[in-house]
Amino acid sequence: MTKACKTCHLIVEEAAECPLCKGTDFSEKFNSIALIFDATKSEIAAKLGVSAPGRYAIKVR
């Protein structure tokens, strides 16, 4: 099951804990996904407050 971390918005597959922020609060309800390749050059990354490449949910409910 694909889900999004509510804390940092990282998209994860089967995981009990977020590999990025170590959070355990996930949601399966998210609308859009942003692919961040270079967080230092990405406006979306800045907006979401992420600093590592990966797939992120734009809005997590």
State the residues that interact with Zn ion by CB under 5 A: 5, 7-8, 10, 18, 20-21, 23
CB of 17 or CB of 46, closer to Zn ion: 17
Determine the Cα–Cα distance for residues 23 and 56; give it in Å rounded to an integer. Answer: 14
Q: Residue 25: what are its φ and ψ, rounded to 5°? A: -100, 105
CB 31 within 8 A of CB 51: no
User: Closest separation between CB of residue 40 and Zn ion, Å?
Assistant: 19
Residue 33 DSSP class:
E
User: Closest separation between CB of residue 37 and Zn ion, Å?
Assistant: 18
User: Closest separation between CB of residue 60 and Zn ion, Å?
Assistant: 10
